[in-house]
Amino acid sequence: MSGVELASLHPPLPETRRGYRSHIDAYGDSYIYCNSKHVFIRSFSNPAKVEVFSEHKVNVNCATFSPNGEWVASGDSKGRVFIWAAKSQTVKIVVEINKNVVDVQWSADGQRLVAVGDGSDLFGKTFIWNTGNTVGDLTAHSKIILAGDFKSSRPFRVATASEDGNVNFYEGPPFKLSVQHKVHMGRYPTCIRFSPDGNRLVSVGADKKIVLYDSKSGEQLKEIESPDAHSGSIVDVCWSPDNVEFATASLDKTIKIWHAEECKNVASLNVSPTPEVEDQQVAVLWHSSHLVSISFRGNINFFDRKSPSKPKKILRGHQAQICAMGAHKASHTVFTADITGRVMKWEAKSADEVEATGENHKSVVLGLDVSLDGSRFYTIGVDDKLQINECKSMEHGQMIPLESQPAGIVSSSKDADVIYVATKGKKLFKMRNGLVEKSFDLSFKPSGLAVAPNDTEIAVFGVGSHRKSIS
């Protein structure tokens, strides 16, 4: 369309799964994560800068940059790994791994990858990056492998963590099992990661354990026992770039930082003074000066390691499908709602966003519109209610029961206090400040509304649509 320019792009938040690790990786100024069938590359310095990779036809579970940042490996729920160029998004190769890839990691030289997940006979393998040729099948696991990683220095090693309770070490290439640990047999290990210098490996688990190993021999060095231990399952771990510390993400809603040599907790990070279930921490990334976590609700939390008491910034948005939208032209703001009832306000000329707080519909929002003066926004939901909310404070407000499920909502084009609501009970209501001022009978079930600029007529859409005078 001539004359139309993109003002800003607001991608969805990372997709999360209850009780399991999410994925986030970084290179340079960019970080990467997945939602549904897409991979998103965002900028640390400019949140509005976004690239989207959309070649996967099924849900993408993980994505990671190559060591030089030129390539990305992304694994999906059909058991395939795509290798593609980070800048041009050109696909280099697609490699079949198993039934469902949940983790993929590069070797430090960028020549090999390890991909793991679920399968009938094979749960993971290592392969050459540009040919897909196998350099070792990862055997000796009987259940889904949740994490795999490459040792960064010679002699090469691969480590895996599985729901069968085992942490396995493989020597190679070609990679073959050398050592197996059953330290997490109380439940199971959830993640393993080698230190950047390749000297140590750490495993964490649903049993709340943290275990350190020698990376060369695979020997268990120490299980960390601390009065500051996590009180919930640990689902992710990430080393500091200098190898001195590592961070753990837990379903107890905290990120904890540990001194690797002294095996003690040195900081606990909270995303909220009053954390809720949706504040469970499901991923952590330590990249350069950036310490980042992902909450179960999808929020991306940015911490300052030197002042970690609370996030210095939180990116909010939608994880789920957006099903309603409204805008206020004068203030250049857009309001969106999704199938979980989450409502956001976006500044069209920037990357700023605000999430509505308070009691909401808790389910699918069927419609949303903004009052003429931009002071309120209205939502209707499958809970058969109309809600009146404040735009400035972004607080959810009064809930008004409707006589049947709503089918459409539109604000008056002349009066800031008036809205029109249509319901599947074949009714059209003119409402002022939440009270019914007039009602009109319809001869069909409506599906949408539009009001005339002079506010004297309204178009009601559905089977048998027609215009109706509302003067």
On whether both 239 and 327 belong to a single domain, the answer is: no
Q: Is 36 exposed, middle or buried (0-12, 13-18, 19+ CB in 10 A)?
A: middle
CA–CA dist 379, 381 (Å, integer): 7
Predicted confidence (pLDDT) at residue 130 exceeds the cutoff of 70: yes
What integer pLDDT is reported at residue 256 of this predicted model? Answer: 97
Domain containing 31 equals: 25-315
337-361: pLDDT as tens digits: 999 999 999 987 766 899 999 999 9
Residue 56 in any domain: the answer is yes
Q: How far is CA 51 from each of CA 39, 67, 87, 461, 467, rounded to the nearest angstrom?
A: 8, 19, 9, 37, 43
> Rounded to a whole number, what is the distance in angstroms from the first to the last CA of the chain?
36
Classify residue 159: in a domain, yes or no: yes
Q: Is residue 13 part of a domain?
A: no
10 within a domain of the structure (yes/no): no
100 shares a domain with 46: yes
Residues 427 and 387 in one domain: yes
Across 168-190, b (16+ Cβ under 10 Å) vs e yields bbbbbbebebebebebbeeebbb
Residue 440: CATH number of its domain: 2.130.10.10
pLDDT band at 468 (very low <50, low <70, confident <90, very high): low
Residues 184 and 311 in one domain: yes
193 and 49 in a single domain? The answer is yes
Instruction: Let me know: does 183 contact 222? Beta carbons within 8 Å.
Output: no
Mean pLDDT, rounded, for 248-272? 96
Q: How many residues does the chain have?
A: 471
Instruction: Tell which residue, 51, 89, 54, has the closest CA to residue 71.
Output: 89
Q: Is residue 11 part of a domain?
A: no
Question: Binning pLDDT at 50, 70 and 90, where does residue 112 land?
Answer: very high
Per the structure, the count of domains in the chain is 2
65 and 181 assigned to the same domain = yes
**pLDDT at residue 469, rounded to an integer:** 58
Same domain, yes or no, for 309 and 350?
Answer: no
Cβ contacts of residue 461 below 8 Å, gap of 6+?
A: 408, 446, 447, 448, 449, 450
Are 272 and 343 within one domain? no
d(C-alpha 258, C-alpha 239), whole Å: 9
CA atoms within 13 A on the CB side of 446: 30
> What's the confidence (pLDDT) of residue 308?
80
Last residue within a domain, chosen from 315, 334, 366: 315
pLDDT at 471: 53
The H or E element spanning position 52 is strand 50-53
Residues 300 and 326 in one domain: no
Say yes or no: 228 and 356 in one domain: no
The answer to whether position 4 is within a domain reads no
pTM metric for this prediction: 0.94
Residue 5's pLDDT band, with cuts at 50, 70 and 90, is confident
pLDDT digits (tens, 9 = 90+) for 28-56: 999 999 999 999 999 999 888 899 999 99
**Does residue 14 belong to any structural domain of this protein?**
no
Per the CB < 8 A criterion, the answer to whether 382 and 402 are in contact is: no
Mark whether 62 and 105 lie in a shared domain: yes
Domain boundary among 281, 315, 349: 315
pLDDT above 60 for 272:
yes
Torsion of CA 435, 440, 442, 447, to 10 degrees: -40
Residues 214 and 343 in one domain: no
- Considering the domain boundaries, does residue 81 fall inside one? yes
Residue 467 has pLDDT above 60, yes or no: no
- Neighbouring-strand partners of residue 66: none
Domain boundary among 295, 315, 335: 315
